[in-house]
Amino acid sequence: MNAAPLLVSFDTLKKFLDALPEKHRKSYQQQIEKLFTQSLPPSVSETCLAVLFGYSVDFVYALSKKQHKFYRSFKIKQGKKVRIIHSPRVALKVVQKWLGTHLSNAISFEPHVCGFVKGKSFADAAKIHQGARWVYSVDIENFFPSITVVQISGALEKLGYSEESAKFLANICSLNGTLAQGSPASPVISNIIMKDIDQRLIELAEKYVLKVSRYADDIVFSGKEPFSTDIPNELSSIFGLTPFLLNKNKAYFADSQKGQRLKVHGLLVKEDKILLTKGYRNKIRAFRHMVAQGKVSEGDLPRLKGHLTFAEFIERNNQV
């Protein structure tokens, strides 16, 4: 699903402003113009959003106040765990996609942030750690659900939205008081929420002369000098001041000088390249042979081709 343009169906900002009720235009014009110059979504109220998308004001009010009516929930398995996804229905999804896309286009993030950033991938995050002696990774527990509507609203205010407008958009992007898992706006909002923490991660990396990457809820540090046991404690202190919890069961440390593989974001990190794990590479060889020999059923062919495309993607990343 492609996102609508910044002004949706309006050619100019003037046409959009002229389409607003006069009283509304006088109240919000200055804020709308300021947001527009920053390429931020100029949806500052129910009426603004209704005019932009051709929805009724009552319908937009329902989107922001009765969100549970506009989601369908289902479960997906991830290994041994079951994850609940709340997927927005079409009308809400269109709005969230529009918000997420234009927030992404308007806001820049630190170089170490690779998740949910246009033009970056987990492979880019792994490449940051090439040449490392050791890697240490931690995982944020229940990442999206830990982000509250109050945090979302506060982050939007920092971007230039009024308190009232920020609360309205935060409601549009949340479900049951937290960031909606399954909303197309949630990834970029999570990165916006993490901005202050990302700065502190950079400061920690600079203090110990380390490399750092963050891909969504997965944070990795690496270094060439011996690992300092103070790093985990300092990292815990950073998150101790936030609503987030680090998942201690997913902490990972590996040291190449002890013969251990350096695994980052699911990939092996070497001196000058990244690789699929040995078991995955063996599977890829088998898949290539099966596809070349025509020994794959029509139903399984898309899945195997997906794995082969993924392997080619990793190979191309080593050539960049």
Evaluate whether residue 173 is within a structural domain.
no
Evaluate whether residue 97 is within a structural domain.
no
Evaluate whether residue 291 is within a structural domain.
yes
Range(s) of the domain holding residue 313: 277-318
| Strand, helix or coil for residue 3 | coil
For residue 264, the cross-strand partners are 267
Evaluate whether residue 60 is within a structural domain.
no
Whether 136 contacts 204, CB under 8 Å: no
Evaluate whether residue 306 is within a structural domain.
yes
Q: How many domains does the chain have?
A: 1
Sign of the four-CA dihedral 10, 94, 32, 38: negative
Evaluate whether residue 289 is within a structural domain.
yes
pLDDT tens, per residue, the chain with 320 residues:
789 999 999 999 999 999 999 999 999 999 999 999 999 999 999 999 999 999 999 999 999 999 989 999 888 776 667 777 788 999 999 999 999 999 999 999 999 999 999 999 989 999 999 999 999 999 999 999 999 999 999 999 999 999 999 999 999 999 999 998 889 999 999 999 999 999 999 999 999 999 999 999 999 999 999 999 999 999 999 999 899 999 988 899 999 999 999 999 889 999 999 999 888 889 889 988 888 888 888 888 888 888 888 888 888 888 76
Q: What is the pLDDT of residue 167?
A: 97
Please spell the DSSP secondary structure of the chain, one letter per residue: -PPPPTTTT-SSHHHHHHHS-HHHHHHHHHHHHHHHHTT-----SHHHHHHHHT--HHHHHHHHH-GGGGEEEEEEEETTEEEEEEEEPHHHHHHHHHHHHHHHHH----TTB-TT-TT--HHHHHHTTTT-SEEEEEEEETTGGGSBHHHHHHHHHHHT--HHHHHHHHHHTEETTEE-TT-TTHHHHHHHHTHHHHHHHHHHHHHHT-EEEEETTEEEEEESSPPPTHHHHHHHHHHHTSS-EE-GGG-EEEEGGGT---EETTEEE-SS-EE--HHHHHHHHHHHHHHHTT-S-TTTHHHHHHHHHHHHHHHHHTT-
Evaluate whether residue 7 is within a structural domain.
no
Q: What is the pLDDT of residue 79?
A: 66
